[in-house]
C-alpha cells in the first residue's frame, strides 16, 4: 500500500477493457444498452432513458466513452483531504429541515 494512505491514494476513474462492449453485456442481460461518445449524445440518451423508464419501465445502461480529461465543473481538489475551517465547530451543525 502506498505510504500516506487515506485521501493521498484516492483517484477518479478506472481503465476498462476497450474491446469489451458493456452496453452489449447490458443488452444480453435484458436491459437497453447504448454507447455514447460525446456530452451531447449523453444528454440525449439520458433524456431517452428517462422516457423509456417512465413509459416502458425499461432499464437503460449508458456506456460513456469520453476522453480521460477531468471536465469542468469537476473540482480537482475534491479528492484531497479535508481541512479544518476556522471558526466552525461540529456543535454549530444542525439538520436541515426536510432532510431525510
pLDDT for 72-100, tens place per residue?
555 666 666 777 777 777 787 777 777 55
Q: Is residue 60 part of a domain?
A: yes
User: Across residues 39-58, what is the average pLDDT?
Assistant: 95
Residue 40's domain spans which residues? 16-66
Half-sphere exposure of 98 (CA within 13 A, CB side): 0
Total domains in the fold of the chain: 1
pLDDT for 56-75, tens place per residue?
999 999 999 876 555 555 56
pTM assigned to the model: 0.55
Q: Is residue 1 part of a domain?
A: no
3-state secondary structure of 21: coil
Q: Is residue 34 part of a domain?
A: yes
> What is the C-alpha to C-alpha distance for residues 55 and 69, in angstroms, rounded to an integer?
35
Q: Is residue 97 part of a domain?
A: no
Amino acid at each position: 500500500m502506498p505510504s500516506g494512505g487515506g485521501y493521498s491514494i484516492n483517484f477518479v476513474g478506472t481503465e476498462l477493457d476497450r474491446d469489451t462492449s458493456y452496453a452489449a453485456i447490458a443488452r444480453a442481460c435484458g436491459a437497453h444498452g447504448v454507447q455514447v461518445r460525446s456530452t451531447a449524445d449523453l444528454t440525449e440518451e439520458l433524456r431517452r432513458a428517462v422516457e423509456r423508464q417512465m413509459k416502458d419501465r425499461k432499464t437503460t445502461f449508458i456506456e460513456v466513452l469520453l476522453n480521460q480529461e477531468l471536465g469542468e465543473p469537476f473540482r480537482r481538489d475534491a479528492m484531497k483531504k479535508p481541512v479544518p475551517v476556522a471558526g466552525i465547530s461540529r456543535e454549530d451543525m444542525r439538520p436541515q429541515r426536510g432532510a431525510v
